[in-house]
Amino acid sequence: MMHNKSVAELSKELESGKISSVELTQQLLDRLKNEDGKYNSFITISDEQALAEAKAADEMRAAGKATAWTGVPFAHKDIFCTNGVRTTCGSKMLENFVPPYDATVTANFKAAGAVCLGKTNMDEFAMGSSNESSFFGAVTNPWGDKRVPGGSSGGSAAAVAARLVPAATGTDTGGSIRQPAALCGITGLKPTYGRVSRYGMIAFASSLDQGGPMARTAEDAALMMNVMAGFDPKDSTCIDREVPDYTATLNEPLKGLKIGLPKEYFSEQLSPAMEEQVRNAVREYEKLGATVKEVSLPNAKLAIAAYYVIAPAEASANLSRFDGARYGYRCENPKDLMDMYTRTRAEGFGNEVKRRILVGSYALSAGYFDAYYLKAQKVRRLIQQDFINAFKEVDVMMSPVSPSPAFVQGEKTTDPVTMYLEDVFTIAINLAGIPAMSVPAGFVDGLPVGLQIIGDYFSEARLLNAAHQFQQVTDWHQREPQ
């Protein structure tokens, strides 16, 4: 049952010679093709390339040049450019786009000898909280009939939860790693902004987007961070700072860890059943030697309003490149240049993307720039300062990830504002640029609940340590959907 093993376990199996990478890859490809019809978690399965990478990995291992990742299969969210493999970003606009280069994250995994099985489904251009805006159809959460997996990295989350792959990359602009990880019962980490290169990661909102790992365990997420993190001169927002070995501190005891509970995150927006699961998880930390106190993030209530000015504004600028002139979709038989621009964009983008482009263009327009965009950036600074102040008192903060468990497909698609409120506990973290992760922490109505662990800048190792220690005394991360 190789599909039930974690990245760390598979790495040991390959190292011991009990299985070859080619055999392992073929097993997972067969399972993926048999099972994914239920979930629609993949857009592209790259079997030929995966088997070629597996063969090369076996040769690397035979030559004594193996890393922890050599020969281990995984998947990329379809937002990372992959040389020679279709990269769609979940949009008709890029339905047939095959990049001539690799994203830095893609290149890092290749260099480590990992085997990419394909590209996972996602909300179009990473815009959504339910994975229902994909041009390639909605993804279904393995935990519930017709439940959403969360978005935008819902394909990655569903694929890991359904044991189709042991791990997958994701991206997080306002909660898009943590919310699907929570709704699908897996572990997901959004690193500090600038810790992971964004080169070759198709942009939604450049000051918020951050790539990160999605896996079953904190140990696997640490193994992924060892590959993903690091300075990249091709990305001007990437920070030149030494990268620790994220697995080195996983087993440090938590005695004396100071945990803060932001009172604004335990509000009436949170269902009592969800709150109970989160507080039960915090009690486990107290048993492990941590101390708990209440902290305040007074400007947290402004996060959604600020985010939904800043993110659409950046999206409207980033998505202006998709005009039919250079690459991607182009409308048929345009009358003139203006007709080509307008029809290409009208036909190529879905409703959610159009909505955000319109909001962003409005916020950036001459008469409203100061009133909206500039004000939102000032609010962002206040939110950031709240976190800086709180981390003077505590080491980490803990909160829910989402206000409720996975909802039914179609339940919120007609009400964008209700959908946007799904990110009420995650968005402020992106505005501040700090790291946070979701860890499986229980169930409500048979559906997974995530505990959010929030850290100060570049404290990913501490978050992974806290998550790993929790996973040593609980088994929520080992539960699998029927």
Structure tokens at 25: 């890859």
Cβ burial 14-26 (10 Å sphere, 16+ → b, else e): beeeebbbbebbb
- Rounded distance, CA 60 to CA 56, Å? 6
Place of tokens 């509970």: 261
Question: Does the pLDDT at position 346 exceed 90?
Answer: yes
- Rounded distance, CA 445 to CA 405, Å? 8
SS3 50: helix
- The residue count for the chain: 482
Structure tokens at 311: 């993110």
What's the pLDDT at 411? 87
What's the pLDDT at 387? 98
Beta-ladder partners of 211: 171
Query: What's the distance, CA 389 to chain centroid?
Result: 27
Query: What's the distance, CA 418 to chain centroid?
Result: 21
Place of tokens 């806290």: 466
What's the pLDDT at 190? 98
Closest CA to 51 of 32, 77, 78: 32
SS3 436: strand
Catalytic one of 129, 176, 316, 399 = 176
- Rounded distance, CA 258 to CA 260, Å? 7
What's the pLDDT at 144? 86
What's the pLDDT at 413? 83
SS3 22: helix
What's the pLDDT at 428? 97
User: Would you call 197 a catalytic residue per the annotation?
Assistant: no
Catalytic one of 6, 11, 20, 77 = 77
What mean pLDDT is reported for the chain?
96
What's the pLDDT at 339? 96
Cα-Cα-Cα-Cα torsion 433, 434, 437, 441, nearest 10 degrees, comes to: -120
- Rounded distance, CA 94 to CA 267, Å? 41
Residues 69 and 83: beta-carbon distance below 8 Å = no
What's the pLDDT at 183? 97
User: Would you call 365 a catalytic residue per the annotation?
Assistant: no
Look up residue 134 and give its amino acid: S
Domains defined for the chain, CATH in brackets: 2-256+396-478 (3.90.1300.10)
For residue 19, the number of C-alpha atoms closer than 13 Å in the C-beta half-sphere is 22
- Rounded distance, CA 341 to CA 330, Å? 8
Catalytic one of 21, 91, 130, 152 = 152
Residues 285 and 470: beta-carbon distance below 8 Å = yes
The 10s digit of each residue's pLDDT in 177-229 is: 999 999 999 999 999 999 999 999 999 999 999 999 999 999 999 999 999 99
What's the pLDDT at 460? 98
Residues 296 and 431: beta-carbon distance below 8 Å = no
User: Would you call 152 a catalytic residue per the annotation?
Assistant: yes
Out of 43-47, 134-138, 145-149, least confident range: 145-149
Beta-ladder partners of 399: 452
What's the pLDDT at 143? 96
Question: Does the pLDDT at position 414 exceed 90?
Answer: no
What's the pLDDT at 421? 82
Question: Does the pLDDT at position 469 exceed 90?
Answer: yes
Out of 131-140, 150-159, 247-256, 419-428, least confident range: 419-428
Residues 464 and 225: beta-carbon distance below 8 Å = yes
The 10s digit of each residue's pLDDT in 75-131 is: 999 999 999 999 999 999 999 999 999 999 999 999 999 999 999 999 999 999 999
- Rounded distance, CA 2 to CA 14, Å? 11
Closest CA to 67 of 242, 246, 227: 227
Give the rounded percent of residues in the chain with a pLDDT score beyond 90: 93
Cα-Cα-Cα-Cα torsion 414, 418, 423, 427, nearest 10 degrees, comes to: 100
Structure tokens at 468: 């790993």
What's the pLDDT at 369? 86
- Across 238-255, average pLDDT: 97
Question: Does the pLDDT at position 1 exceed 90?
Answer: no
What's the pLDDT at 382? 98
What's the pLDDT at 140? 97
What's the pLDDT at 416? 81
- Across 282-294, average pLDDT: 97
Residues contacting 152, CB < 8 A, separation 6+:
90, 122, 123, 126, 127, 128, 129, 131, 171, 173, 176, 180
- Across 390-414, average pLDDT: 94
What's the pLDDT at 34? 96
Structure tokens at 93: 């606009």
What's the pLDDT at 269? 80
What's the pLDDT at 94? 97
- Rounded distance, CA 407 to CA 411, Å? 7
Question: Does the pLDDT at position 326 exceed 90?
Answer: no
What's the pLDDT at 420? 82
Question: Does the pLDDT at position 422 exceed 90?
Answer: no
Question: Does the pLDDT at position 417 exceed 90?
Answer: no
Residue 419's pLDDT band (boundaries 50, 70, 90)?
A: confident
What's the whole-model pTM score? 0.96
- Across 155-181, average pLDDT: 98
Instruction: Identify the DSSP state of 196.
Output: B
Residues 464 and 451: beta-carbon distance below 8 Å = no
Question: Does the pLDDT at position 320 exceed 90?
Answer: yes
